[in-house]
Amino acid sequence: MEREIVGLSSMATRSILAEVCGSIRLTHGIEVRFESAGGVEIARRVREGAEADLVVLAAGALAALEGQGHLVAGTARPLWISQVVAAVPAGAPVPELDSESDLRAALLSAKTIAYSTGPSGTALVDLISRMTLTDTLADRLVQAPPGVPAGSLLSSGHADLAFQQHSELMDLPGVVVAGPLPGDTAISSTFSAGVLATSTAPGPAREVLDLLGSDAASRTARARGMRTPEDSPTGDTVTGTA
C-alpha cells in the first residue's frame, strides 16, 4: 500500500482540503493529510526543508517558493480564489456594503478593526491607504496573530469589525458575515498548489495535485465560499502574498 501523502497549507484552505482529502480517500483509496498553519509559518517551514509532498498557499507565496527551488518544476497551479469579506459580532448591527461610501462609513464607525497576517490583511491595509484613511484608522487596526482567524477577535469582544477570507469567517461561532467589499474595493486571493522538492513520492503527489484541481474539488471549494479561476469576474483586486 502506498504511503500517506502529506501536504502543508495556510488556514484559508484548511476546511476545503479536509473535505476534499476525505473524498479522495473514499473515491480513490489514496490517503492524504494536510497540516495547516498561518501562511507565513508554512512558507518558513518549506524554506527550512519540511518533509512533505504538497503545499497550498497564496499564489505569490507559492511563486516565491518555486523561484527558490522548493517546488518540483512545472507543478505549480492555481486552484481556488477566495473573496475577502467583512464581518461583525453576532447581535451587532450589520453594515450595508453596497458602495465604497458604505464601506468607508463602516470603517469610520468601528472602534476596533481586525485583519489577518495573510494576503487579505496586506490588501486591506493597502485599501485603507488608497481610501486616505490610514492616519484616521491607525489606532483602531488590530492584526490577528498568525494562524488565528481575524473573526475570532469579534467573538472574543476584541474587535467590532473584521476582514478576512470568506472561507475563514463563514463558520465561526459568534460571527456574522456582512458581505464582500463593494465595487472597486473588492479583494480576492488566489490559492495555488505544487509538489514540494522534498517529496519522496512525487508521482503520487502529482496525482493528488490533479485531484485537487478536479471538478469535484471545485464544487467543494464553491460550497466553502471560494471559486475557481474560471469563475472569477474581472475588476477585483487579486492578491497573492503570504
| CATH 3.40.190.10 residue window(s) in the chain | 5-81+190-239, 82-187
What count of other Cβ atoms lies within 10 Å of the Cβ of residue 18?
16
d(Cα 118, Cα 124) in Å, to the nearest integer? 10
Q: Where are the beta strands (DSSP E) in the chain?
A: 5-10, 32-37, 54-58, 77-89, 113-115, 141-143, 161-165, 175-180, 187-195, 226-227, 237-239
pLDDT digits (tens, 9 = 90+) for 28-65: 999 999 999 988 899 999 999 999 999 999 999 999 99
Under CATH, what is the fold of the domain 5-81+190-239?
A: D-Maltodextrin-Binding Protein; domain 2 (3.40.190)
CATH class of the 82-187 domain in this structure: alpha beta
pLDDT digits (tens, 9 = 90+) for 148-161: 889 899 989 999 99
Band of pLDDT at residue 215, cut at 50, 70 and 90: very high
Which residues pair with residue 84 across a beta bridge? 165
Task: Work out the mean pLDDT of the chain and round it to a whole number.
Answer: 91
**Predicted pLDDT at 242:** 40
Q: Give the residue-averaged pLDDT of 130-147.
A: 93
- Per DSSP bridges, beta strands 237-239 and 187-195 are parallel
Band of pLDDT at residue 231, cut at 50, 70 and 90: confident
* Entry pTM: 0.82
Q: Which residue has the higher pLDDT, 152 or 232?
A: 152
Q: Give the residue-averaged pLDDT of 166-192.
A: 91
